[in-house]
């Protein structure tokens, strides 16, 4: 075991540390390089930002927008000024939580980095959350300060009225408010001494989306996040200082935080944030306009982008990262036909911080997400935790340099069993070691004795020329236990009628021979 709940901490406020599960319920944590001695003290932002400025990257661009380009040294100065506001003006001490609310932007990035550099704990929230949902997060994390995009204040102010523990809301992305973060930080000199955090001090609370009940709050330490950089980014993504990154995942989720901030800083790359929401054609045009070389978005968006990519071309784009939902092979091939690029697929979890199974380039295999990322170990197991033979359906279990530790949540016992993390996915591992996603393990559709994964039915439907989008679920049935029910959006030139229903049923039956048409 690498960490210890009882270890000393530089964080004076022990509220989150004291809410961690017992060490006996923790996952095994294995450092990426087994013989490497993990440092006792480690500040994530010092490693990614301060040291970058000492490694000839000071003048290289880091954060880009239509209005401004900030170099690594520019970002360092602004982060230090914000950190001074947090500690000098707002009197926050290490271990205090700071709620962050905003759309993806340079301002949100600067705020997040300042919070973590000061030894505080970042609690990022999705911009679409309403006051009641924000209230749940405030009640659990107990932040006293929030940094909020000035355009998103209303719902947070309403939540604050119900949760007075949140004493102060400081707007950012505005220069006109004298109490705003920009005005306050402009008055500081930028001479900030980073918090001398332990490697095991907590950097962030990463609230889940709450799709399976009340949101859970996994924690990640400074070392967790830096260790994650040594896994998927080093061995699979392989970004360079010349890369320009663009993408749609929210920074409030660890997939977006890693892909659009942490990993680019680790590789010396830069990130572009637009002023307006993405559209499929708009993203294609923007990739070309800014010369983006790496793109992160979901399969659905890539599918919508494909015709525009074919029309306009994407000559500088070299890596297309897909995650967040199952990637159908039809979408992978559609994108490859439009761009010539092989999609880089991956699966990760908020509890694990980022991607732990993935393959790129020549290692991509149709029908598979990929192989386990170096630094992690994964297996497919039965209900008792025993590894099943290759080619057999089972539950995914993972260990690595990151792992699940929920803050104050009895569901820890559901996620970590005998030291292994159980992300909740059903997989098959083939003879070559590739992992093939089937479904969420509680969403497998068992119809007439057959295990059917909704993603494989969706992929089959998407192969039909009439289908634009689709979603597949299981529906209870007295005779068969469950039947497969598909919801389909037709392309404009096709009619949704009984004849088309029969055609789609026959198409899926021919594609997936185990499924009887009565299941649809």
**Full-model pTM:** 0.86
- Bridge partner list, 119: none
- Do 344 and 322 touch, CB atoms closer than 8 A? yes
Contact 367, 181 (CB under 8 A): no
Q: Which residues contact 47 (CB under 8 A, 6 or more apart)?
A: 226
Among left, alpha and beta (phi > 0; psi -120 to 50; other), residue 408 is left
The tokens describing 182, both together, are 């920009």
Q: Select from 368, 437, 510, 421 the least CA-distant residue to 26.
A: 421
SS3 220: strand
Strand partners, 484: 474
Identify the burial level of 438 via C-beta atoms within 10 angstroms of its C-beta, where 0-12 means exposed, 13-18 middle and 19 or more buried. buried
From CA 281, how far away is CA 496, in angstroms rounded? 27
- Specify whether the CB–CB gap between 331 and 302 falls below 8 A: yes
DSSP 296-333: EE-HHHHHHHHHHHHHH--SS--EEEE-SS---HHHHH
Residue 189 CA: distances (Å) to CA of 77, 84, 453? 9, 9, 57
pLDDT for 516: 42
CA geometry: angle 222, 224, 227, nearest 5 deg:
110
Task: Check: CB of residue 336 under 8 Å from CB of residue 302.
Answer: no
Q: What is the DSSP letter of 259?
A: I
How far apart CA 278 and CA 461 sit, in angstroms, is: 27
- Looking at the chain, the number of H-run helices and the number of E-run strands are 18, 25
The half-sphere exposure of 334 on its side-chain side, counting CA atoms within 13 A, is 22
User: Residue 156 in 3-state DSSP?
Assistant: helix
pLDDT at 8: 53
Q: Which two tokens stand for residue 53?
A: 């400025």
- The predicted pLDDT at position 459 comes to 77
CB of 124 closer than 8 Å to CB of 251: yes
CA atoms within 13 A on the CB side of 507: 19
> If phi over 0 gives left and psi between -120 and 50 gives alpha, with beta otherwise, what is residue 329?
alpha
Please identify every stretch of the chain with a pLDDT value under 50, giving residue numbers as ranges: 1-7, 34-35, 448-449, 514-520
Percent helix, percent strand, percent coil in the chain, to nearest 5:
35, 25, 40
**pLDDT reported for residue 1:** 39
- Distance, in Å, from the CA atom of 265 to the CA atom of 94, rounded to the nearest integer, reads 23
State both tokens at 415.
């996620």
Of 138, 175, 140, 176, the closest CA to residue 157 belongs to: 138
Burial class, 473, CB count within 10 angstroms (exposed 0-12 / middle 13-18 / buried 19+): middle
CA atoms of 358 and 347, how far apart (whole Å): 7
Q: What is the pLDDT of residue 30?
A: 85
């Amino acid at each position: 075991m690498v960490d210890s709940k009882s270890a000393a901490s530089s964080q004076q406020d022990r509220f989150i540390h004291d809410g961690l599960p017992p060490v006996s319920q923790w996952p095994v944590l294995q450092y990426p390089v087994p013989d490497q001695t993990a440092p006792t003290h480690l500040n994530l932002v010092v490693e990614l930002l301060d040291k970058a400025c000492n490694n000839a990257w000071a003048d290289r661009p880091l954060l880009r927008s239509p209005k401004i380009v900030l170099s690594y040294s520019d970002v360092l100065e602004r982060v230090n000024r914000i950190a001074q506001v947090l500690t000098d003006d707002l009197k926050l001490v290490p271990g205090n939580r700071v709620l962050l609310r905003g759309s993806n932007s340079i301002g949100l990035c600067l705020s997040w980095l300042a919070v973590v550099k000061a030894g505080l704990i970042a609690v990022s929230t999705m911009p679409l959350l309403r006051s009641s949902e924000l209230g749940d997060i405030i009640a659990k994390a107990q932040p006293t300060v929030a940094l909020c995009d000035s355009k998103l204040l209303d719902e947070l102010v309403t939540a604050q009225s119900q949760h007075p523990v949140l004493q102060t809301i400081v707007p950012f992305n505005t220069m006109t408010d004298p109490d705003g973060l920009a005005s306050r930080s402009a008055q500081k000199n930028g001479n900030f001494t980073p918090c001398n955090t332990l490697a095991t001090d907590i950097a962030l609370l990463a609230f889940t989306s709450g799709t399976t009940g009340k949101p859970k709050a996994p924690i990640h330490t400074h070392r967790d996040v830096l260790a994650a950089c040594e896994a998927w980014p080093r061995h699979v993504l392989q970004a360079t200082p010349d890369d320009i990154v663009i993408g749609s995942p929210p920074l409030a989720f660890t997939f977006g935080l890693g892909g659009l901030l942490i990993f680019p800083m680790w590789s010396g790359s830069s990130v572009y944030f637009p002023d307006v929401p993405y559209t499929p054609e708009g993203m294609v045009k923007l990739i070309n306009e800014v010369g983006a070389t790496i793109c992160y978005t979901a399969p659905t968006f890539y599918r919508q982008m494909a015709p525009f990519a074919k029309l306009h071309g994407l000559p500088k784009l070299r890596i297309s990262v897909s995650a967040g939902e199952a990637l159908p092979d039809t979408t992978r091939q559609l994108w490859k036909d439009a761009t010539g690029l092989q999609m880089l697929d991956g699966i990760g979890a908020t509890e694990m911080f980022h991607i732990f199974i993935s393959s790129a380039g020549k290692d991509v295999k149709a029908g598979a997400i990929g192989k386990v990322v170096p630094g992690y170990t994964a297996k497919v197991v039965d209900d008792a935790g025993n590894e099943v033979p290759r080619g057999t359906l089972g539950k995914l279990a993972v260990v690595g340099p990151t792992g699940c530790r929920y803050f104050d949540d009895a569901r820890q016992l559901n996620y970590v069993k005998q030291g292994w993390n159980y992300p909740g996915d059903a997989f098959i591992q083939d003879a070559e070691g590739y992992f093939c996603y089937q479904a969420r393990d509680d969403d497998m559709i068992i119809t007439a004795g057959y295990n059917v994964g909704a993603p494989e039915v969706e992929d089959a439907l998407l192969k039909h020329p009439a289908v634009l989008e689709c979603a597949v679920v299981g529906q209870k049935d007295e005779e068969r236990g469950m039947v497969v029910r598909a919801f389909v959006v037709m392309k404009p030139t096709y009619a949704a009628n009984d004849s088309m229903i029969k055609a789609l049923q026959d198409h899926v039956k021919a594609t997936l021979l185990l499924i009887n048409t009565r299941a649809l």
